Amino acid sequence: MAIRRALVSVSDKTGIVDLCRELAQQGVQVISTGGTKTLLEKENVPVIGISEVTGFPEILDGRVKTLHPAVHSGLLAIRDDAEHIKAMEELNLDYIDLVVVNLYPFKETISKPNVSYEDAIENIDIGGPTMLRSAAKNHAFVTVVVDAGDYAQVLEEVRSNGDTTLETRKRLAAKVFRHTSAYDALISDYFAKQLDNPLPESLTVTYEKVQELRYGENPHQKAAFYRKPLSSAGNITSAEQLHGKELSYNNINDANAALAIVKEFNEPAVVAVKHMNPCGVGIGADIDEAYVKAYESDPTSIFGGIIAANRTIGADTATRLSELFLEIIIAPEFTPEALEILQRKKNIRLMRIGELPSAAERNSEWLVTSVEGGMLVQQSDVHSLSDGDITVVSDRKPTDEELKQLLFAWKVVKHVKSNAILLASDNMTVGVGAGQMNRVGAARIAIEQAGDKAKGAVLASDAFFPMGDTVELAAKAGITAIIQPGGSIKDAESIAVANANNIAMIVTGVRHFKH
């Protein structure tokens, strides 16, 4: 066998002229359509039009040109099947041995601001995927190329053997089916959004590989990092790494958790994360003050952690950061002086995130969690409290300062693994109890971590108190105010304990479980 005829039709014309010129020099007849044919003719590459093969003109503004038996018979005919050979001869049809196609730029079209629905629909390719699938199905005989990165290998094999190897054809066919599947998934997702139907009867998702990872959570687990094709800005998938070692699986998870917390704040904020839980969060008049508070929240646990800031990192903050061993520092931007200071540390990863998204933009995100045999899909938890959400249930109302600290604590506790208790004072976390099997256990951990700082602090709980024991523990530690969702059948018991200890308590009516 040898490649004698090639059908070429591409939207992305990178490298196509050189490919077709070389194919022609190897004696391959090049068939093409529309703009690709025009380009090849302009570059003096021998080419014939698709209409010469089909005997039918390109019609309907190019919507119909390759959807023809003369094309798909040439692609799908089994070359060693006597009946197929007979049919091809009787109908005077010829084989097509190589297909080079890439599709209408649907992704690029819908990523444009304010793209019209009509423009999006017009950029749904029909003939291209059909040719690709036909050729890929018949890869035992037909070579199909959807990626310009594969042109060089195909040419090399044609030069050497006149044809590609079966192994190459299998690999290229598999890539085609991945490509068309991803293309259709984007179209499906576009229609779901147009119809405001984020949870349809069947869900197809597609992601693009960012990098192979050395391993997953542990060295014996294989892993890779993928991103959505149209991922929004201001997240770990769009961050630019300015310095340091390659990110690991755990780095990416922790960085994502840190960014989720720091996005809660409009004022300058710094978040330190270990194992996807915050170990220190601070806000301040500027980012340096915020970092100092985040560090002082837990000077021990921050070691080896991830730092995220929502303002530019300057020289003063960089100097403080350079005194610690940290895995990653993420910020919208770094000043040149800050970069010079931090880049002295060889391995630290410095990630520029750019402008952080608004709450409305984050609300469009859906979270996918795999379970054995399936997956769970839910809207991101970006709920923020309004004045109408807050109800004072205790005899004593919180002071203005207590209310400020309660709202600060509430923004952070929803990002702590459940059961979660968080203590805050002076615009910083002072104690975090995460991922415990009961709420009292979480409170004990948070209070023990806070030590003397628990006295006069406020407490936030991600879910209601099933009984009054957590409030009793808070009272003994000197906590003065509590924020919690409410809704327990024993709310009255917890409120009574708060009143007996002059603790102000507010309920939100909103739970923030995080598993």
Closest among 272, 228, 281, 230 to 254, alpha carbons compared = 272
Task: For residue 102, say if its preceding peptide bond is cis, omega within 30 degrees of 0.
Answer: no
The type of residue at 460 is A
DSSP-derived letter for residue 64 is B
Burial category of 63 from C-beta neighbours within 10 Å (exposed 0-12, middle 13-18, buried 19 and up) = exposed
Contacts of 66-73 spanning 24+ positions with Cβ under 8 A: 66/7, 66/9, 66/33, 66/127, 66/130, 66/131, 67/126, 67/127, 67/130, 69/93, 71/7, 71/96, 71/131, 72/130, 72/131, 72/134
Instruction: Provide the residue count of the chain.
Output: 515
Q: Is the dihedral of CA 414, 415, 421, 424 positive or negative?
A: negative
Q: Which residues pair with 284 in a beta bridge?
A: none
**Residues in CB range of 187: below 8 A, 6 or more apart:** 106, 124
The pairing of beta strand 208-213 with beta strand 223-227? antiparallel
Question: How is residue 323 written in tokens?
Answer: 């005194």
What separation, in Å, do the N-terminal and C-terminal C-alpha atoms of the chain show?
58
72 and 148 Cβ atoms separated by less than 8 Å: no
Question: How is residue 54 written in tokens?
Answer: 């089909």
**Residues in CB range of 60: below 8 A, 6 or more apart:** none
Active site residues: 137, 275
Q: How far apart are CA 430 and CA 423, in angstroms?
A: 5
If you count DSSP H runs as helices and E runs as strands, how many of each does the chain have, helices first? Answer: 19, 21
Closest among 285, 259, 288 to 273, alpha carbons compared = 259
The pairing of beta strand 428-433 with beta strand 421-425? antiparallel
310 and 265 Cβ atoms separated by less than 8 Å: yes
Question: How is residue 128 written in tokens?
Answer: 């291209």
Question: How is residue 231 written in tokens?
Answer: 């991922």
The pairing of beta strand 306-309 with beta strand 328-331? parallel
458-461: strand order across its sheet: 240-243, 349-352, 328-331, 306-309, 269-274, 277-283, 428-433, 421-425, 458-461, 481-484, 504-507, 391-392
